[in-house]
Amino acid sequence: MIAPARALAALLVVASPGLGGAPAEALRAPTPGAAGIGDPYFPLDGNGGIDVLHYDVRDAYAFASGRLSGRTRLRVRATQDLSRFNLDFLLPVRSVRVDRRRAQVRHQGHELRITPARPIPAGAEFVVTVAYAGTPASESYRGERSWLASPDEVVTMNEPHMAPWWFPANDHPRDKASFDIRVTVPRSKDVVSNGVRVSKKTHRGRTTTHWRAVEPMAPYLAFFAAGSFAIHRSSCNGVPNVFAVSRNTTSTPGQPARRAAAYWGRQTCTIVSELSSVLGPYPFSSMGGLATGLTVGFALENQTRPTYPYASGLQPGLLTHELAHQWFGDSVSVAGWRDVWLNEGFASFMAGFGVELRGGQPQQDWLLQTYDSVPDSSSLWELSVDDPGPARLFDGAVYARGQMALQALRHRIGETAFWTLLRTWVAQRAYRNGSVQEFEALAAATSGQDLTAFFDAWLHAQVKPARTAANGLV
């Protein structure tokens, strides 16, 4: 926030003849915030002119009708003099208020264009309250239908877009915020979300569960699941550990859901401890996971509590991948979606390293075996890993070639420099963002080596890297 004395100085500078002598009022007139945050992959994701500091989401869900109603209060800071601003949201809106004053609102696709009763000066904090109701399953964005529900269970998990189906957001990883999430459902259902459970209250047959995530979180990583769950609560190195398993899915063979929840909760603690030993402290104040009974073909690294497809399908490698994302993707988020290698390549590498750590195949052996088995003509080599494009954001090459690149880097610069690099990356950028370019610069500085050609070969080029020591392959 600009201090009053500095604001006066800025006003005097604007009115100076050096800027053409234009009236201060004309040059300082409030303008609309941009409809997008500036990500070329998804031009309408996020919004300009605002920085969301906190979300207070209060939703109610009806299983029979699939209808969601709610009210979300956002605490926001203006990053420019605003005449209006946008939020990303899909459901029909009942009302919008800015600092308790009714605002004009216009819905255009997934853009909620809000004009406050009074302009908002740069640096000012204000509160936006949006009331809404609708059927998320009927909504789509960019061809995506992200709502996942049955008559018995619902879970909000998808990437890169999920938030606009259940709360209004500045929907881009570049704008992270803390969260309070309250979800009301029939008393027979459980609700699991991010962070720590604050309370659970029942009134007239309906239960409201309140979860709180205090560390900054990208909107797509916020989630809730509601259904019939076996929930195991424990502590892992002093950190609350909550793992839930749907009672509507086949549990680990021979085990009921409650035993599966306890087992995978223990596995989560073991894997987090392994990762912490090489990456540094676990970055959040809670951990755990959720195994849904719904039909979904992927797992997702929802912050503090990853979601998995079903209990019987869980394997240590899958848990390691999603838990590694707590460092790579959640604590340190991408600056733009083209940087997705920093999420998926790193999580894939840590899953492979976990195999090595537990006495399995060394990662360098895996790298050379994979390199030799994939022909030069394979599509694996056709993708620029540092810029895969929105249509191939989660292409297999981002994972596999990304994992190969990190192991090759490890071999090239050596164990000490490599692990120092990863620990420095997650420590320096904790709860913030990073780009591939910034990681490359840190790798060069940490190792003391010129890695330009190395990263060109592994991340930028669209051909198979040469089998050389410089590329970490000898």
Task: Tokens 């992959």: give the residue.
Answer: 41
What is the pLDDT at residue 218?
98
Instruction: Give bridge partners of residue 286 from the DSSP assignment.
Output: none
Q: Is 29 exposed, middle or buried (0-12, 13-18, 19+ CB in 10 A)?
A: exposed
What is the pLDDT at residue 413?
98
Give the separation between CA 48 and CA 38, rounded to whole angstroms.
8
What is the pLDDT at residue 256?
85
Give the separation between CA 264 and CA 242, rounded to whole angstroms.
10
What is the pLDDT at residue 252?
52
Per-residue pLDDT tens digits for 92-147: 999 999 999 999 999 999 999 999 999 999 999 999 999 999 999 999 999 899 99
What residues does each domain of the chain span? 228-331, 337-460
Instruction: Give bridge partners of residue 203 from the DSSP assignment.
Output: 206
What is the pLDDT at residue 312?
63
pLDDT < 70 stretches in the chain: 1-27, 250-255, 311-312
Q: Domain 228-331 is classified in which CATH homologous superfamily?
A: Neutral Protease Domain 2 (1.10.390.10)
What is the pLDDT at residue 145?
92
pTM of the model: 0.91
Per-residue pLDDT tens digits for 24-52: 444 479 999 999 999 999 999 999 999 99
Contact 386, 341 (CB under 8 A): yes
Tokens at residue 50, please?
């605002």
Indicate the fold that domain 337-460 takes in CATH.
Answer: Neutral Protease; domain 2 (1.10.390)
Per-residue pLDDT tens digits for 252-266: 545 688 899 999 999
